[in-house]
Amino acid sequence: MKKLIILIGCMLFLSFTVSAQKFITKTGHIKFFSESPLEKIEAHNRQVNAALDVATGDFVFKVLLKSFEFEKALMQEHFNENYVESDKFPNATFMGKVINIKDVNIGKDGVYDVVVEGKLTIHGVTQQISQKGSFEVKQGKIAVKAKFSILLSDYGIKIPAAVANNISKSVETSIDANLDLFNQTSR
Amino acid sequence: MKNLLYSTIFIFLALFTGTANAQEDMMNLLNKQDKPAIDYTTATFKTTKVVVGESSENPPTGNMLFLITHHFGALNTGYENLFGLKQATIRLGLEYGVTDWLGFGVGLNTLQNTWDGFLKIKALRQSKGARRMPLTLTIFGSTAIYTTKWSDPSRKNYFTSRISYASQLIIARKFGERFSFQLAPTYVHVNLVATPDDHNNIFALGAGGRFKITQRVSINAEYYYLFPNQIKSTPAYSSFSAGIDIETGGHVFQIFLTNAMGENLETIITQTTGTWFNGNIFLGFNISRIFTIVKPKQFRKTE
């Protein structure tokens, strides 16, 4: 019996030390922006979930598409109904790795350039992507920043000819997420 | 024996943690911390009308809807009247979404110079996720006042004699992506009726549906069953309307055929004087345009 307790104790300790390297947020911010000759479209989502394991570099994102807020209610309705079809595909996800996680020193405040590679899934279509971004380490927290563009046709999002002048083919996406150390015991 | 049990447990746990994909694990962690949200059903109908009658929808919060309703004359009036093209009955309406559950509107009808004003309250909203609600329940209440010259000199012209009221429960559900349906028990009160045989309280039951054929086009149909023997001095029939909705950006166009000449609910229920079978059919269209009046908070500072 003692052995079992020790064993379980060890495993709990192990899992704790593993989780102690995880950083997490549920209030990340993603903004996207599309500018065309006729219309400027901007949307914000401030409920982005993200987790980063600084030991392995594993990095995941989960974005509820219905949480994007637009300036015009009608744009929001069209975004959900006609473009990303959020009833069918409620989330956009990213699963990948920070390939140069070794360069990031969590113990030392500073801005680190990172390269992230992995699978981005939007509208049920998965694409392998590689993007540059930055991690700003400050007092044990990590501010993740990245800016890149998403080509809508890569994800099977069709723009009808009638509104082709209103919506640009690619949207500028920027990510701004402050990750905190994930503390399992506090949950 | 005990040792065997321990080692089995150990191997099992080790295998389990070892084989599970670290990224999948982290995604599960995100799923766990994600609070389930209420997922409200949107766009049960594309605009505030099914065809001629009210739908369960209000304009979005902070948005104003300008709605032009236009019915030509009856098709059975023949070539001399260009099958009704020479006539028009028009309603100009403005509607506003105050919150996600409250809307109001006003309208001016060319039929008897009728002004109408209404409130529309979403008492229940269809949703899934953290709160499951199978239906949307909208309560509609309106008052209509006709303002043409008093036509009957033998009767005293009381202001109240010009007023009628309509109230309606709209029970709607969006069944999947393509199909929406609503039932609308309707009660109309007419302050002054033509003869003592006519009822002041009129009951009808509406049913309406929308079937989406493409992302932007749907077929809509609507039927208002007028319970019999309520209006006796004038012909009064149930109304049937069918048409298509075409959505283009900020506009929704609805083109339809109907046997209801009126454009506000009080008139649609009590003054539909012909049927489809005798050709008393009107070609009509609605054009709605939406304007954002109050932007969501985070957009107010920019610009």
The verdict on B229 and B197 lying in the same domain is: yes
Residue of B248, B290, B296 lying closest to A162 (CB–CB): B248
The verdict on B7 and B148 lying in the same domain is: no
| Partners of residue A77 in chain B, C-beta under 8 Å | 42-43, 60
Looking at residue A187, its pLDDT comes to: 42
| Partners of residue A73 in chain B, C-beta under 8 Å | 60-63, 290, 292
pLDDT reading at B61 higher than 60 = yes
pLDDT reading at B33 higher than 80 = no
% of chain B with per-residue pLDDT over 90: 77
Residue predicted with more confidence, B44 or A186: B44
pLDDT reading at B18 higher than 50 = no
pLDDT reading at B10 higher than 70 = no
Strands B114-124 and B127-129 turn out to be unpaired
Q: How far apart are CA B263 and CA B74, in angstroms?
A: 14
Residue of B27, B177, B249 lying closest to A93 (CB–CB): B27
* Interface contacts (A, B; CB < 8 Å): 93
For residues A65 and A110, the answer to whether their CB atoms sit within 8 Å is no
Q: How confident is the model at residue A144 (pLDDT cuts 50, 70, 90)?
A: very high
B213 touches chain A (CB under 8 A): no
Residue predicted with more confidence, B166 or B300: B166
pLDDT reading at A14 higher than 70 = no
Q: How many domains does chain B have?
A: 2
Q: Which of B236, B292, B284, B294 is nearest to B49 (CA)?
A: B284
pLDDT reading at B100 higher than 50 = yes
Asked if residue A163 belongs to a domain, the reply is yes
Q: How far apart are CA A133 and CA A143, in angstroms?
A: 11
Asked if residue A15 belongs to a domain, the reply is no
The verdict on B91 and B237 lying in the same domain is: yes
Q: What is the interface pTM, i.e. ipTM, of the complex?
A: 0.78
The verdict on B52 and B126 lying in the same domain is: yes
The verdict on B146 and B242 lying in the same domain is: yes
The verdict on B18 and B107 lying in the same domain is: no
Residue predicted with more confidence, B76 or A164: B76
Burial (CB count <10 Å: 0-12, 13-18, 19+), residue B107: buried
The verdict on B17 and B125 lying in the same domain is: no
List all residues 6 or more positions away from A88 whose beta carbon is below 8 Å from its beta carbon. A124, B177
| Partners of residue B298 in chain A, C-beta under 8 Å | 44, 69
Q: Which residue of B has its CA nearest to A26?
A: B34
Q: How many domains does chain A have?
A: 1
pLDDT reading at A64 higher than 50 = yes
CB crowding A49-79: b at 16 or more within 10 Å, else e = bbbbbbebbbbbbbbbbbbbbbbbbbbbbbb
In this prediction, residues A43-56 reach a mean pLDDT of 93
| Partners of residue A3 in chain B, C-beta under 8 Å | 6
For residues B222 and B206, the answer to whether their CB atoms sit within 8 Å is yes
Determine whether the interchain pair A4/B6 forms a contact, defined as Cβ–Cβ distance below 8 Å.
yes
pLDDT reading at A186 higher than 50 = no
Residue of A24, A66, A95 lying closest to B39 (CB–CB): A66
pLDDT reading at B17 higher than 80 = no
Q: Which of A15, A51, A180 is nearest to B20 (CA)?
A: A15
**CA A142 to each of CA A15, A57, A111, A137, B40: distance values in angstroms, whole numbers, following the listed order:** 22, 13, 9, 5, 34
pLDDT reading at A184 higher than 70 = no
Residue window 266-295, chain B: list those with CB within 8 Å of chain A.
Answer: 290, 292, 295
Residue-wise pLDDT for A73-95, tens only, equals 889 999 998 899 998 999 999 99
A44 touches chain B (CB under 8 A): yes
CATH number of the domain that residue B227 is part of: 2.40.160.40
A95 touches chain B (CB under 8 A): yes
Interface test with chain A among B2, B10, B12, B26, by most A beta carbons within 10 Å: B26
The verdict on B116 and B142 lying in the same domain is: yes
Looking at residue B199, its pLDDT comes to: 95
Q: How far apart are CA B256 and CA B246, in angstroms?
A: 11
Interface test with chain B among A74, A99, A157, by most B beta carbons within 10 Å: A74
The verdict on B169 and B103 lying in the same domain is: yes
Range of the domain at B208: 38-299
Residue-wise pLDDT for B232-272, tens only, equals 999 999 999 999 999 987 789 999 999 999 999 999 999 99
Measured in degrees and rounded to the nearest 5, phi and psi for residue A84 equal: -85, -10
pLDDT reading at B184 higher than 60 = yes
Range of the domain at A155: 21-182
CATH number of the domain that residue A176 is part of: 2.40.128.110
The verdict on B264 and B149 lying in the same domain is: yes
- The mean predicted confidence, pLDDT, of chain B is 91
Looking at residue B30, its pLDDT comes to: 85
The verdict on B24 and B43 lying in the same domain is: no
The verdict on B201 and B109 lying in the same domain is: yes
